[in-house]
């Protein structure tokens, strides 16, 4: 299965081997900068002669833009540039281009960064200004006159599918569905996956459960708002500094929208203050470049928190229908689901991924999932950690729990009885490669948490989650310095410790001390293309690139040692950081250390560089099972998570602390999604809770310690067995918590979030003997 042409074998052989660095908890190389305030994030760069840019945003959820008058703003002293839709050329219709991890429709993107014919959501950018300071920029925005014709709007995905709903994009055609000529729709796409015949499967079932669920949009809620500094010169060259998950991808988007040669734009990623998928797209950056091009001065732009909530991300809200049948001995006979996801104002919800993952933790003979991508008057969705999967698996894992309860089976034993393994046909088609679904379920079942008794009134829930993970284009370089230390140049943004994990693999391969490897994230001119940090790909794909670069470097080092000794290179081996002569030469030749070879590299042929560029394939999919205990305040409806354990297959944990950190962080984001977080709109389609006070992410006192179990079922396509770990942890929490609440209260919740008012109402309704609450 390993693509031996591309994947360097390296020194790693997966698990069961003792390593010097891999698997240790080394201090991260960027750590001191981050605990001392030195680390430079998006808004931390100041350039000479820099202007401040601000955006005028639509106050309406849906409106024609009849005209925009910027003359008074332009006349204001201190204003250096004003831009509107007229400053961006339109993009060709219908053309999608591969860019980064997804194909991109630039006609949509140019409309999303700056409204053209219509404002499509509250917060949609209408105009932007650059001025000498923030106060003048704000004043200038207030002088821009926009003539809006307000239109009816729609936010709810089911309402948006009905005939007669306000139409978001008049020229939209539904992909995957018959559409009567001339009819307008908000349904961008219908997709269907599955195999077998669910009708046959349901006929075999002893028990069938069918439920409907809703979820609300939730935001990635990275603590650092979007920010950038753009600087264009009179000759059309540009530099861009930004907080992003992928500076090469951002470069491509900006160059396309501004009509620049890609290589004329040099892009540097700042330190990134969280992204979780939300910083894979561009918002401010094309505006800042356009303002800078007009003003011929650098322009800094940073969003307020309110702008982040209204105009970026979030992920889809959804309406979900799930039906599962099983026999009384716990075999699932059929599984069926219909998923309706909000896309926002442009097509592109992650419903296809949701539909594929919905039943992935089960080996099924009869399965079908249907997904709809639905336009509504809300900011276009951005990726959010395992995009699409948490929404679908919330619903499916709730029903699985319920059906296990009805047939009187332990929910983990039920899952184990139906769990997929290598060679099982997945619910979305292909057979699974080496996976660790069973191993995580068994580890959860055997964990002290699952075995321990509950306190009175508490409930316990479990859920399993699945995510694909991806590889992708990656370049890395190791530059040997004259003292034998090594500069590791990476092009993958570090969101949570990958400079550490990638350096550790480099040190392991080279056989040198970790502190002799200095990693840095190069700008877009420093390396070949690097796809963005997303899909849990960096330690996987970046690891393959770094191991390849190290092997390339070692090849040159052996060659130099062979020349030094004047022996064939085949008689030189590299071990423990030094070249050793073999085949009988050993006695008269002392090993040459990396330092010694480095000292004389000028005399033996010049600079020594190891490089590797790949398009990594064969990412290892990852399963996780979560166990959660909850307590409910029966008087307020407040749910307390009292104990939480994440069990997940990492393939191989290069840096266990940062693997645990991904598990813990994903679980707590999921706790927020389950219990508190939601977008709340007024009747005009305006977001009512665009701030951290009212959009309540979990705080420190809301959550307990998050226990973790790292299962290691090596991924055979990676030299150390790595699977991506960053996304799967957010998939199970919503169902696990809902299942725990059902266990505690005997009430099955079908709507997120399970916030105190909703839980309290359900408790009160349950006194009237209802078993389902909404």
The residue among 53 and 511 lying less far from another protein, judged by its C-beta, is: 53
* Least gap, CB of 305 to another protein (angstroms): 4
Q: In the window 285-314, what residues touch another protein (CB under 8 A)?
A: 302, 304-305
Which region among 16-24, 43-51, 626-634, 748-756 touches another protein (by CB under 8 A)?
43-51
The residue among 12 and 497 lying less far from another protein, judged by its C-beta, is: 497
Q: Cα(327)–Cα(316) distance, rounded to whole angstroms?
A: 34
222 binds another protein (CB under 8 A): yes
* Least gap, CB of 267 to another protein (angstroms): 19
Which region among 153-161, 217-225, 318-326, 759-767 touches another protein (by CB under 8 A)?
217-225
269 binds another protein (CB under 8 A): no
On whether the CB atoms of residues 480 and 486 are closer than 8 A, the answer is: yes
257 binds another protein (CB under 8 A): no
The residue among 431 and 764 lying less far from another protein, judged by its C-beta, is: 431
Which region among 453-461, 466-474, 563-571, 623-631 touches another protein (by CB under 8 A)?
466-474
Beta bridge partners of 109: none
271 binds another protein (CB under 8 A): yes
Which region among 101-109, 316-324, 506-514, 754-762 touches another protein (by CB under 8 A)?
101-109
Q: What b-and-e string marks burial along 585-601, b requiring 16 or more CB atoms within 10 Å of the CB? A: beeebebbbbbbbbeeb
- Residue pointed to by tokens 């909703």: 758
The residue among 74 and 702 lying less far from another protein, judged by its C-beta, is: 702
Q: In the window 501-520, what residues touch another protein (CB under 8 A)?
A: none
428 binds another protein (CB under 8 A): yes
* Least gap, CB of 746 to another protein (angstroms): 29
691 binds another protein (CB under 8 A): yes
- The C-alpha torsion from 756 through 762 and 763 to 765, rounded to 10°, is 140
SS3 content of the chain, % helix, strand, coil (to 5): 30, 25, 45
Q: Cα(388)–Cα(393) distance, rounded to whole angstroms?
A: 9
Please count the residues of this chain forming the interface with another protein, following the rule CB under 8 A.
116
497 binds another protein (CB under 8 A): yes
* Least gap, CB of 673 to another protein (angstroms): 12
30 binds another protein (CB under 8 A): yes
On whether the CB atoms of residues 54 and 129 are closer than 8 A, the answer is: yes
Q: Would the CA dihedral through 238, 306, 152, 126 be positive or negative?
A: negative
436 binds another protein (CB under 8 A): no
Q: How far is CA 532 from CA 103, 469, 495, in A?
A: 13, 13, 11
The residue among 494 and 578 lying less far from another protein, judged by its C-beta, is: 494
Which region among 122-130, 428-436, 546-554, 558-566 touches another protein (by CB under 8 A)?
428-436
The residue among 194 and 610 lying less far from another protein, judged by its C-beta, is: 194
Q: Cα(512)–Cα(29) distance, rounded to whole angstroms?
A: 16
Instruction: Out of 664, 676, 743, 755, point to the residue binding another protein (CB under 8 A).
Output: 664
Tokens of 9: 């074998």
Q: How far is CA 200 from CA 49, 333, 380, 417, in A?
A: 71, 8, 39, 20
Q: What's the DSSP call for residue 362?
A: S
User: What's phi and psi for 320, nearest 5 deg?
Assistant: -135, 135
* Least gap, CB of 363 to another protein (angstroms): 14
Q: For another protein, what does the binding mask look like between residues 699 and 728, x meaning CB under 8 A?
A: xxxxx-xx----------x------x-xx-
Q: In the window 372-391, what residues touch another protein (CB under 8 A)?
A: 383-387
On whether the CB atoms of residues 254 and 286 are closer than 8 A, the answer is: yes
* Least gap, CB of 49 to another protein (angstroms): 15
689 binds another protein (CB under 8 A): no
Instruction: Out of 9, 13, 17, 34, point to the residue binding another protein (CB under 8 A).
Output: 34
Instruction: Out of 20, 40, 563, 686, point to the residue binding another protein (CB under 8 A).
Output: 40
The residue among 44 and 239 lying less far from another protein, judged by its C-beta, is: 44
* Least gap, CB of 216 to another protein (angstroms): 18
* Least gap, CB of 621 to another protein (angstroms): 8
The residue among 108 and 156 lying less far from another protein, judged by its C-beta, is: 108
Instruction: Out of 83, 209, 221, 754, point to the residue binding another protein (CB under 8 A).
Output: 221
Q: Cα(622)–Cα(634) distance, rounded to whole angstroms?
A: 37
537 binds another protein (CB under 8 A): yes
Q: In the window 117-146, what residues touch another protein (CB under 8 A)?
A: 135
Burial of 94 (0-12, 13-18, 19+ CB in 10 A): exposed
Tokens of 512: 């040198």
The residue among 36 and 77 lying less far from another protein, judged by its C-beta, is: 36
Instruction: Out of 9, 49, 103, 771, point to the residue binding another protein (CB under 8 A).
Output: 103
226 binds another protein (CB under 8 A): no
534 binds another protein (CB under 8 A): yes
39 binds another protein (CB under 8 A): yes
The residue among 317 and 666 lying less far from another protein, judged by its C-beta, is: 666
On whether the CB atoms of residues 652 and 720 are closer than 8 A, the answer is: yes
Instruction: Out of 363, 509, 660, 712, point to the residue binding another protein (CB under 8 A).
Output: 660
Q: In the window 394-423, what residues touch another protein (CB under 8 A)?
A: 422-423
* Least gap, CB of 149 to another protein (angstroms): 33
- The C-alpha torsion from 707 through 711 and 717 to 722, rounded to 10°, is 30
Q: Rounded to a whole number, what is the distance in angstroms from the first to the last CA of the chain?
A: 47
Cis peptide before 753 (omega within 30 of 0): yes
179 binds another protein (CB under 8 A): no
Which region among 16-24, 407-415, 695-703, 750-758 touches another protein (by CB under 8 A)?
695-703
On whether the CB atoms of residues 349 and 388 are closer than 8 A, the answer is: yes
Length of the chain: 774
Q: In the window 605-644, what residues touch another protein (CB under 8 A)?
A: 615, 617-619
Instruction: Out of 161, 284, 495, 627, point to the residue binding another protein (CB under 8 A).
Output: 495
Task: Give the up-direction half-sphere exposure of residue 298: CA atoms within 13 A in the CB hemisphere.
Answer: 13
Instruction: Out of 248, 359, 468, 681, point to the residue binding another protein (CB under 8 A).
Output: 468
Q: Cα(769)–Cα(287) distance, rounded to whole angstroms?
A: 57
Q: How far is CA 465 from CA 194, 405, 441, 460, 598, in A?
A: 18, 19, 11, 17, 48
The residue among 190 and 758 lying less far from another protein, judged by its C-beta, is: 190
The residue among 423 and 607 lying less far from another protein, judged by its C-beta, is: 423
Which region among 113-121, 267-275, 336-344, 593-601 touches another protein (by CB under 8 A)?
267-275
* Least gap, CB of 712 to another protein (angstroms): 19
Q: Cα(556)–Cα(609) distance, rounded to whole angstroms?
A: 8
211 binds another protein (CB under 8 A): no
The residue among 556 and 625 lying less far from another protein, judged by its C-beta, is: 625
CA angle 562, 567, 568 (to 5 degrees): 80
Tokens of 693: 């006070």
28 binds another protein (CB under 8 A): yes
Task: Give the up-direction half-sphere exposure of residue 473: CA atoms within 13 A in the CB hemisphere.
Answer: 14
Contacts for 68-72: CB closer than 8 Å, 24+ residues apart = 68/126, 68/127, 68/144, 68/145, 68/146, 68/147, 69/144, 69/145, 69/146, 69/147, 70/127, 70/144, 72/143, 72/144, 72/145
């Amino acid at each position: 299965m390993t693509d031996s042409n591309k994947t360097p074998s390296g020194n790693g052989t997966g698990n069961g081997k003792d390593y010097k660095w891999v698997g240790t908890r080394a201090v991260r190389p960027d750590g001191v900068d981050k605990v001392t305030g030195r680390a430079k994030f998006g808004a931390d760069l100041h350039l000479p002669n820099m202007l401040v840019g601000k955006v005028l945003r639509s106050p309406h959820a849906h409106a024609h833009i009849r005209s925009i008058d910027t003359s008074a703003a332009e006349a204001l002293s201190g204003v250096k540039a004003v831009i509107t839709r007229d400053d961006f050329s339109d993009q060709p219709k219908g053309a999608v281009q591969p860019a980064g991890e997804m194909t991109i429709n630039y006609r949509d993107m140019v409309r999303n960064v700056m409204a053209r014919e219509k404002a499509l959501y509250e917060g949609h950018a209408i105009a932007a200004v650059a001025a000498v300071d923030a106060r003048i920029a704000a004043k200038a925005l207030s002088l821009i006159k926009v003539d809006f014709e307000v239109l009816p709007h729609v936010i709810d995905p089911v309402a948006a599918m009905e005939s007669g709903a306000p139409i978001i994009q008049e020229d939209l055609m539904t992909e995957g569905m018959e559409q009567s000529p001339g009819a307008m729709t908000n349904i961008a796409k219908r997709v269907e996956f599955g195999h077998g015949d669910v009708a046959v499967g349901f006929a075999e079932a002893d028990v069938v459960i069918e439920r409907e669920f809703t979820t609300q949009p939730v935001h990635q809620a990275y603590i650092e708002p979007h920010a950038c500094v753009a600087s264009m010169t009179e000759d059309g060259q540009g530099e861009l500094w930004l907080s992003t998950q992928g500076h090469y991808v951002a470069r491509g988007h900006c160059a396309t929208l501004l009509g620049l040669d890609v290589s004329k734009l040099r892009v540097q990623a700042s330190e990134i203050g969280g992204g979780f998928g939300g910083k894979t797209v561009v918002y401010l950056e094309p505006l800042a470049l356009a303002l800078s091009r007009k003003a011929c001065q650098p322009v800094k732009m940073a969003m307020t928190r309110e702008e982040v909530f209204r105009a970026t991300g979030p992920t889809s809200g959804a309406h979900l229908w799930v039906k599962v049948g099983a026999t009384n001995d716990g075999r699932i006979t059929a599984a069926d689901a219909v998923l309706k996801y909000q896309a926002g104002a442009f097509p592109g919800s992650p419903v296809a991924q949701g539909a594929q993952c919905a039943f992935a933790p089960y080996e099924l003979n009869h399965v079908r999932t249907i997904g709809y991508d639905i336009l509504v008057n809300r900011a276009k969705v951005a990726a959010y950690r395992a995009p699409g999967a948490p929404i679908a698996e919330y619903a499916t894992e709730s029903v699985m729990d319920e059906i296990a309860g009805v047939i009187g089976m332990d929910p983990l034993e039920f899952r184990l009885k139906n769990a997929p393994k290598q060679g099982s046909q997945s619910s979305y088609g292909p057979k699974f490669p080496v996976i660790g679904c069973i191993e995580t379920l068994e580890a959860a079942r055997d964990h002290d948490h699952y075995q321990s008794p509950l306190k009175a009134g508490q409930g316990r829930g479990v859920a399993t989650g699945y995510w694909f993970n991806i590889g992708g284009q990656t370049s890395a370089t190791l530059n040997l310095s004259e003292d034998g230390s090594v500069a590791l140049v990476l092009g993958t943004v570090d969101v949570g410790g990958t400079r550490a994990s990638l350096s550790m693999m480099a040190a392991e391969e080279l056989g040198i001390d970790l502190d002799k490897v200095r990693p840095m994230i190069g700008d877009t001119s420093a390396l070949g293309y690097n796809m963005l940090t997303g899909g849990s790909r960096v330690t996987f794909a970046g690891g393959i690139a770094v191991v390849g670069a190290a092997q390339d470097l070692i090849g040159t080092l052996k060659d130099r040692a062979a020349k030094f000794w004047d022996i064939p290179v085949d008689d030189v081996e590299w071990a423990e950081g030094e070249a050793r002569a073999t085949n009988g030469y050993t006695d008269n030749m002392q090993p040459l250390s990396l330092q010694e070879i480095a000292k004389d590299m000028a005399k033996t042929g010049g600079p020594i560089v190891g490089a590797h560029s790949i398009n990594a394939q064969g990412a290892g999919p990852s399963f996780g099972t979560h166990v959660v205990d909850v307590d409910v305040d029966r008087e307020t409806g407040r749910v307390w998570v009292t104990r939480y354990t994440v069990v997940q297959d990492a393939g191989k944990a290069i840096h266990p602390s940062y693997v645990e950190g991904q598990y813990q962080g994903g679980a707590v984001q999921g706790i927020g999604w389950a219990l508190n977080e939601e977008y709340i709109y007024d009747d005009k389609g305006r977001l009512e809770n665009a701030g951290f006070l009212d959009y309540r992410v979990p705080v420190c006192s809301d959550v307990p310690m998050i226990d973790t179990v790292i299962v290691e079922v090596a991924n055979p396509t990676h030299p150390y067995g790595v699977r991506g770990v960053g996304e799967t942890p957010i998939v199970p929490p919503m169902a696990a918590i809902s299942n725990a609440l059902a266990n505690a209260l005997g009430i099955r919740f079908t709507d997120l979030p399970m916030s105190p008012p909703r839980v309290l109402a359900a408790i009160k309704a349950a006194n009237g003997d209802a078993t389902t609450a909404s």
